[in-house]
Amino acid sequence: MYSVIKSIEPVCEESEQKQQEHLNSLTKPVGSLGALEDLAVQLAGISAQVNPEINTPGIIVFASDHGISLEGVSAYPQEVTAQMVRNFLTGGAAINVFSKRINALLEIVDIGIASELTGPQLIRRKIAYGTKNFLLEDAMSEDQAIQSIWIGMERAKNLIDKGAGLLILGEMGIGNTSPSSAIIAFLTGCEVETVVGLGTGIEEIQRLHKIQVIKNAIIYRQPLKGDPINVLAKIGGFEIGAIAGSMLYAASRKIPILLDGFISTAGAVLAAELNPLAAQYMIAGHQSAEPGHRLALEYLNKRPLLHLGMRLGEGSGAALSYPLVAAAADMARNMATFEQAGVSRKS
């Protein structure tokens, strides 16, 4: 695990520069494609190639349960995690629909669902039957935290080896906006009040309770600054560790990572804590309605492509933004230059 984390290289500045020069030679006013041009330049830096091709996207949905859900922090009961995973397996969830739309490779992983689930399509990597309630005890042991990151790496390797040229990390886990809020507040230094939102749709009074639960949990657990494994173990979740692991692995293979919403970005913040270079490989797909998402993206210095007011997770917002990423790569590869098309340059 640590060898993967250490092996991440900075993105290639020379490819970025050459890509920018190439974009400036294409038949459009210089800079007129705005953020799409920045995206094309970033893709060149990530792949260390000019005009890289983005082929098949890969989506991994990590599903897990959370002991903290006993504290009344979600609008839905814990059994919805397993029920939704069944829905993923039969193709009825939002991520199934959006994944099909972009012809993605889609994989569903049980990394810690509280009940027993089987199915030929389900990848079983259960670490435990849910995390512990981190208001009362550490969410998991440090060994389990490392295991979650390791599983994320293993699944990312599997999908990249199968041909995924870009990774989207999604999740399902009732209660998981709580560990995500705790991790983001703790690692970014933002106030818990500004990070915590309505999740699946709790009332304002319940949000105030959720804030108090998370504040107390951080005080009781005393996560260690500068020790991301300790932070994950004390106030995290199995799927958040796996998301971080997949992201770190993708970065080590120079594969772009398309961030989804609040939980996916909590994994991203954790990954960046393990190696800040990983952030260079991340693209923000959208900005979720969860207020802490904007703060986490700012911390990672990422500008989201879409603002659709979504607050679903599963990888859904990232999947919807994928066509823009693919279009940026296509634009760089396939547009004609002024010379090729016989178009006059700026006078």
Ligand X SMILES: O=C(O)c1cccnc1
Alpha-carbon torsion, ordered 223, 227, 78, 94, to 10 deg:
140
Which residues 6+ apart lie within 8 Å of 78 measured at CB?
Answer: 65, 66, 69, 114, 130, 174, 175
* Residue 148 binding result from ligand X, ligand RBZ, none, given CB thresholds of 5 to 8 Å by partner type: none
Measured CA to CA, the distance from residue 101 to residue 85 in angstroms comes to: 20
Q: Closest distance between ligand RBZ and the C-beta of residue 11, in Å?
A: 29
Buried b (16+ CB within 10 A) or exposed e, 190-217: bebebbbbbbbebeeebbeebbebbbeb
What SS3 class is residue 63?
strand
Sheet with 122-124, strands from edge to edge, namely 122-124, 105-112, 57-64, 166-172, 257-259, 282-284
Is 22 a binding residue for ligand X by CB under 6 A? The answer is no
Site for ligand RBZ in 56-75 (CB under 6 A): 74-75
Annotate 129-160 with b (16+ C-beta within 10 A) or e (fewer).
ebbbbbbeebbbeeebbbbbbbbbbbbbbbbb
Residue 344 burial (CB < 10 Å; 0-12/13-18/19+)?
Answer: exposed
**CA 287 vs CA 111, 210, 245, 254, 292: distances in Å:** 26, 22, 22, 24, 10
Strand pairing report for 257-259 and 166-172 = parallel
Binding of ligand X by 179 (CB under 6 A): no
Show the site string, 307-336: x = touches ligand X by CB under 6 A, - = not: ----xxx-----------------------
| String marking each residue 198-237 x if it binds ligand RBZ according to CB under 6 A | -xx-------------------------------------
Given 64, 69, 144, 177, the residue binding ligand X (CB under 6 A): 177
- Residue with smaller CB distance to ligand RBZ, 149 or 202: 202
Candidates 195, 280, 314, 328; binder of ligand RBZ (CB under 6 A) is: 314
Catalytic residue among 13, 142, 314, 339: 314
Cβ-based burial of 29 (10 A; exposed 0-12, middle 13-18, buried ≥19): exposed
Q: Is 98 in the site for ligand X (CB under 6 A)?
A: no
Which listed residue (27, 76, 154, 193) binds ligand RBZ by CB under 6 A?
76
107 touches, from ligand RBZ, ligand X, none (C-beta below 5 to 8 Å by class):
none
**292 counts as binding ligand X under rule CB under 6 A:** no
Q: Map the footprint of ligand RBZ across residues 132-171, applying CB under 6 A.
A: 171
Distance CA 262, CA 304 (A): 12
For this structure, is 314 an active site residue? yes
Segment contacting ligand X by CB under 6 A, of 61-69, 122-130, 286-294, 324-332: 286-294
Among 26, 80, 257, 297, binds ligand RBZ (CB under 6 A): 80
Which of ligand X, ligand RBZ, none binds 173 (CB below 5-8 Å, type-dependent)?
A: ligand RBZ
- The reply to whether 47 sits near ligand X by the rule CB under 6 A is no
**By C-beta, is 52 or 179 nearer to ligand X?**
179
**Residue 183 makes contact with ligand X by CB under 6 A:** no
**Three-state secondary structure call for residue 58:** strand
Binding residues for ligand X, rule: CB under 6 A, are: 177, 199-200, 260-263, 288, 290, 293, 311-313
Binding residues for ligand RBZ, rule: CB under 6 A, are: 74-76, 80, 84, 171-178, 199-200, 312-314
Q: Which residues are catalytic?
A: 314
